[in-house]
Structure 1
């Protein structure tokens, strides 16, 4: 299962047997990619699908739902801090169009939660890692396989 999406059993089984190529992009590049995917493109997609007002509400709810899904792991105090930063970022985005405010909650979420979790998961699968590199290097390596 990935989020709330279930994988077919045959695909899940193959994934457990597969080797791993790890993308190790610099932190700033990752932030730029996340800004593009989660704040710029997602906002556009929601407003395109639902219209400006409802699309904005759906977009806000989507981001809050993602943060809420890991509330227990973050702890209530840290969750509340990050949710307040998310609200402030959304207010700024709505009034100015700038997505820069999202860094105030995204950076600590990556540094304190996602990056340690990914490191831990990769350490458990270290023997399966066959290649490491930045996005373009991994893409070239995959093409050569």
Structure 2
């Protein structure tokens, strides 16, 4: 069926959030995909493995024949029905396999034979989309003005970015808050997924004259910041967000205590507080060497008191001395040292309201 449609306007695919039917094997999908994609494979992992061996030993025709032997009858019908359900729910979508070759063509043909619908496939498949996104990340980054939002830990940088349309929330995309206490309840994405999602955000926001990102190091948790973003950040102007210690304590208490407990209990009510406690104990342990033995033990004692009062009396006030010490004695000195090396790039300094007003005028 040579008349089945191919799509090669990749920018439109991502700007329009085009629903994508990924027919690769589950192991391929889990290794990297796109936010708007769902996986309904032509072959499962075992079938793909068997057909791959056959292809290497006996060639393409034998591999195709084996594929039809493995996937037929009721099994074939079940898979086609899943595709048809996806097509029905997403009539303006498209499908792809790894290279846009045989698997996506077969899927197209089976969908057409069953429903009469000519559902388009992505030209070049996942590999072409991935290459396009990597290229666009570098191109847009190199041609776009960036402004870096800096500020002390707990001053609300992420909150500010989420209130501004022309911002890229790197920590949100990485699902991590960028410190020893930055783990979230759900795991971080794979590096490939982070890069894909970041590039898609850049494509969607390319129309803005400038983009705002938070001041980050080389990594956010286990996620590596792509070199193009990292290098651009190092050369960009900086706006410093300020907040009172009282506000920083309030923001930190909400983010790292109140919200984290809610999230842990939402996943497992019975073990929620135990998991929340382990999150705090593990996070503090990560920085024990930097804290030094005596200070670590002092903070650990305060943490255990806070956890006990939290669990027994629903009182979270004992976290405040602990958070204040971490902010003032641990994070602030590191921040002050780092920002001192960047002060020549600072173009404005102010609280959230002042920063937003400055950005509106500039």
Larger Rg: 2
Runs of 4+ in structure 1 off by over 4 angstroms are none
Deviates more, 1:30-39 or 1:1-10: 1-10
- Please, which of 74, 82, 87 is the counterpart of residue 304 of structure 2? 87
Q: Go from structure 1 to structure 2 and tell me whether the alpha carbon gap of 1:142 and 1:104 turns closer, same or farther (over 3 Å shift).
A: same
Q: Are 2:339 and 1:129 aligned?
A: no
Structure 1, 13-22 or 119-128: larger mean CA deviation:
13-22
CA shift digits 1:22-67 (9 cap, x unpaired): 111011011111111111111101111222x322122111112221
- Bigger strand share: 2
Per the normalisation by structure 2, the TM-score is 0.38
Unaligned 5+ segments in structure 1 are none
Change (3 A) 1:79 1:4: farther
Distance between the aligned counterparts of 2:267 and 2:227, measured in 1? 32
- Whether 1:46 aligns to 2:264 is yes
Q: Deviations over 1:64-106 (max 9, x none)?
A: 2221221111101111110111111011111121211001211
Alpha-carbon shift at residue 6 of structure 1 (Å) = 2.1
CA distance in structure 2 between the aligned counterparts of 1:91 and 1:73, rounded to whole angstroms: 26
Q: Deviations over 1:7-29 (max 9, x none)?
A: 22222222112211111101101
SS at match of 2:224: coil
Partners of 1:68 and 1:9 in 2: CA distance: 30
User: Among 349, 356, 361, which residue is 1:139 paired with?
Assistant: 356
2:227 is aligned to: 9
Provide the rounded CA distance (Å) in 1 between the counterparts of 2:340 and 2:233: 17
* Residue of structure 2 in register with 1:21 after alignment: 239
Change (3 A) 1:94 1:125: same
Deviations 1:104-132 (A, max 9, x none): 21111111111111111111110011110
Tell me, yes or no, if structure 1 residue 111 matches structure 2 residue 351: no
Aligned to 1:82, the other structure's residue is in SS state helix
- Aligned partners of 2:244, 2:326: CA distance in 1, in Å? 16
Aligned to 1:32: 250
2:243 aligned counterpart, secondary structure? coil
Q: Secondary structure at the match of 1:100?
A: coil
1:67 partner SS: helix
CA distance in 1, matches of 2:359, 2:260: 28
Cα separation, 1, equivalents of 2:223 and 2:359? 25
Q: 1:142 to 1:67 in 2, by over 3 A?
A: farther
Structure 2 residues without counterparts, runs of 5 or longer: 1-218
| Cα displacement (A) at 1:143 | 4.2
Q: How many residues align?
A: 144
